[in-house]
Amino acid sequence: MAENNRILDVISRPSDVQFLTDEELEILANEIREEIISVTSTNGGHIAPSLGAVDLILAVHSEIDVPKDKLIFDVGHQSYAHMLLCGKVDSFKTLREFGGFPGFPRPSVSQYDSNVAGHASDSLSVAAGYALTNRLNNTDSKVVTIIGDAAIEGGMALEALNYIGSKQLKMIIILNDNAMAISASVGAITRHLSNIRATKNYRNARSAMKQRLSERGEFGKRAIDFVSRTKSSLKSMLFPQSMVFEKMGIMCTPPINGNSISEVREMIDLVKDVDGPVLIHAITRKGKGYAPAELDPEGFHGVGKFDVATGKPICRVATKWTDVFGDELVELAKENEDIVAITAAMEGGCGLKKFHREFPDRFIDVGIAEENAVGIASGLAYSGKLPVVCIYSTFLQRAIDQMMIDICLEKKHVIFAIDRAGLVGDDGPTHHGEFDLAYLRMMPNMTVIAPSGEVELQKALKFAVECDGPVAIRYPRGNCPHYAVHHPEFKMGKSREIKPGDDVKVLAFGKMTKTAVETSKILEMNGISCGVFDMRFVKPLDKDAIAQASRAQVVVTIEDGILQGGAGEAAVAELAKNCEKMPKVLTFGFDDQFVEHGTCGELFTSLGLHPGSIADKIMNSL
């Protein structure tokens, strides 16, 4: 079908799909998949989860009318079809580009988005808020949530289910069950869902139940009300595996084919009048419609540019920070049998696949439950083990309380390997790790390290294994630089001087050391002597290096984190405390703001954090 004859191109709002036949909806589903594959092949993005949810989203929009009705996504990884149905076909072509269309739902971007879908397991709480508003205002708008089988295991989701069931809030929860988070789903609820999918009685009874309820009329309504109210013998006898949700007060349907638009539509139509919560269990295939993504759904969860014909990435192979960490952890674990690796549904993303293969009994994946991961780590530490908790910076925010009370208060030896620190690029504000330096610095007893390259990360990890108390090592996404310069062994709170200089002293943290060196070269070309310290430690700071820097005309700090509460503020406070004469100080980092999406290069340039801009500001200050 020629592009100008596509159904997709005449869709201006989601409710337009209500006028399409089932056959036209199937055609539209194929067009949407082709568009998602085409755009993500050049822009990158979350292709496999979005391909798997196309049919679900079409079915939902054919039965509800947003924005009057509310469709809430749990993580925007699966939402691309929704974006395309919102009349955003042209905008979608700029997906994740700097200044272009964001990769996650944002109410400030689209009137059809009901929530910011960036972190998992929060959608049911948001939906509960909408359902309570309906009850308080005596309105009848529909509330539908799409949540994955991995996200529903998260603590916040379980808390919400408990509340929704107890208050009998009217909503439809669509469980998008593809047996995957980013990696394969884990845990007791995953096993429960697997049992439901596999149970013969459940499968055989599904058709009979649908037939009875589909007769509709007064009898059909009474049947729905009966199942909703009783949650007892009939449902227990026919569908025993569903009772986990039933016991929470939530009517649960038999599994349906979530990649069948007609089947999902039929089920929504059957249950949308139930006066209480209903969970539709939809089985989908992650990556559906694109063979490479179906064969490797984990690899195609989030991708960069790739060749559509082969599915192979179009990028230069380079050493990644994550790989350096994963390889070094394996080597250390060979020497220390107490090391245990913990992740929260991010085995591949955190570089732990090799560790899992080498030490399966010492690898723990708790699913999307960061608080639980840190709590387990505390128990292991109390028992004499050495847990290494591997979590992305933005997701570790969810476990601040556990870090503070369960780990830091008693100074337990736990290593936090914090991946994706700083800016992550195209995923935008919900995924940037810009706050970790601030929230880590406030924790008593916490040591915070920001390595600047490959060897530094290896040495930092070895140091963390050998010292006492909690240690956080934060490192960015992307390629890991290798500096052919002297790398002394780590000593607590000690930096390394990369180059001397008298006029300006730059205190650089983590990956920004490279920026500091490039800045110093520009200054030297302009006759300004500039020294650079790779500070290594954010906490404790190297007081000797700061004292030495205080003798320069200008002291500069550079970090890839928020300035408020960050490393630069700490250095300034140290200067103010101990210097007889305060030098001029310039702090470079992220202002009090959320940073939008784009490539890291574009973002650093826009924020004035590239060497040329920094050098200009330093020269102006002189």
| Residue 487 · residue 455 · CB < 8 Å | yes
Distance separating alpha carbons of residues 222 and 13, to the nearest angstrom = 35
In the chain the first and final C-alpha atoms are separated, in Å, by 64
Look at strands 530-534 and 496-499 and give their pairing: antiparallel
CA angle 597, 99, 288 (to 5 degrees): 60
Of 35, 97, 370, 434, the catalytic one is 370
Q: C-alpha distances in angstroms, 250 versus 47, 192, 243, 263, 529?
A: 31, 16, 9, 21, 69
Give me the phi and psi of 573, to 5 degrees please.
-60, -40
**Amino acid present at 197:** R
**Amino acid present at 172:** I
Distance separating alpha carbons of residues 542 and 492, to the nearest angstrom = 9
Tokens standing for 56? 């679900």
| Residue 483 · residue 395 · CB < 8 Å | no
For the chain, give me the number of helices (H) and strands (E)? 26, 18
DSSP 479: B
Tokens standing for 403? 């870090």
Look at strands 554-562 and 584-590 and give their pairing: parallel
* Peptide bond just before 67 cis, omega within 30 deg: yes
- What ranges in 300-385 are assigned the alpha helix state H? 321-335, 353-358, 370-382
Q: C-alpha distances in angstroms, 209 versus 220, 252, 269, 352?
A: 11, 12, 14, 44
- What ranges in 231-279 are assigned the alpha helix state H? 233-238, 243-246, 261-271
3-state SS, residue 570: helix
Distance separating alpha carbons of residues 272 and 384, to the nearest angstrom = 53
Specify the residue for token string 């020497």.
Answer: 335
Of 88, 398, 412, 496, the catalytic one is 398
Is 286 one of the catalytic residues? yes
Distance separating alpha carbons of residues 43 and 67, to the nearest angstrom = 28
Residues 6+ apart with CB under 8 A from 571: 507, 541, 546, 555, 557, 587
Q: Which helix (H) or strand (E) holds 533?
A: strand 530-534
| Residue 69 · residue 114 · CB < 8 Å | no
Of 96, 286, 505, 536, the catalytic one is 286
Residue 210: other Cβ atoms inside 10 A = 17
Taking alpha carbons only, the member of 422, 412, 423 closest to residue 389 is: 412
Q: C-alpha distances in angstroms, 452 versus 328, 334, 415, 473?
A: 16, 25, 18, 11
Residues acting as catalytic residues = 286, 370, 398
